[in-house]
Amino acid sequence: MEDGFHGYNRFLEGDDDAFGATVSEYANRLLLYINRYLQNLTAAEDVMEDVFAELIIRRKKFDSEKAFKAYLFKAARNKSLNALKKESRFAGELPEDAPDEDALIEEQWFSEEKKQLLHLCLRELKDDYREALYLVYFEQLSYEQAAKVMRKSKKQIDNLVQRAKAALKTRLEHEDIYSLADL
C-alpha cells in the first residue's frame, strides 16, 4: 500500500485518486491533534477537512515526508486556533482535559493499564510540555519541525521536551511505572 506522502506526490502529478492514500495515512492523527485543541470531534473533523482541502487547492511541493508532515500539523494547529478564536472561546491555552476519543489511537501504543496511567500523567503536564512531547515522540517530528508547528525556537522545543520528560519521569516514578519513563 502506498504511503500518504507518495500518494500526495502522485496527486500533484495528476493522479486524483492517489490523494486518498494521504487522507488514509494522516486523517486519524490529525483528528486527534486538532481535537486536543477544540475538544469537539465534529469541529475537529471540519478543521481536518479544511487542512486536506488546502493541500488540494495549494498543491504545494515538499522535499521530504517530514517536511510534509510538519506542514500538515502546522496547518492543523493554525486552523484549530482560528476556529477557537472564531468561536470566541480562545483563552490563550490548550484545553486541559484530553477527550475520550484519544483512547482509540493510544491503544496502539501501550497496554491498557499503563496507557491509562500514562495518559493521566500526561494530562497533568503543562500544555506546552504535552504538545512538544506529542509532536516529537508520537508524530516523530524533528525539534526544528516541532518548533515551526508551535511557533517557538528549536532551543525552546529542546527545553520543553527536556522539562516535560523530567516532569513525566517524576510522575511515572510516583505511579510505579518508571519503565515507561525511559523516553
pLDDT tens string, the chain, 183 residues long: the values are: 457 777 778 888 887 777 888 888 888 989 999 988 888 889 999 999 999 888 888 888 888 888 888 888 899 998 988 888 887 544 445 455 444 444 434 443 344 556 566 667 777 888 888 889 888 888 888 999 999 999 999 999 999 999 988 888 887 776 655 544 444
Enumerate helices (H) and strands (E) in the chain, giving the number of each.
9, 0
pTM of the full structure: 0.58
The H or E element that residue 173 is part of is helix 154-174
Give the whole-angstrom CA distance, residue 74 versus residue 55. Answer: 13
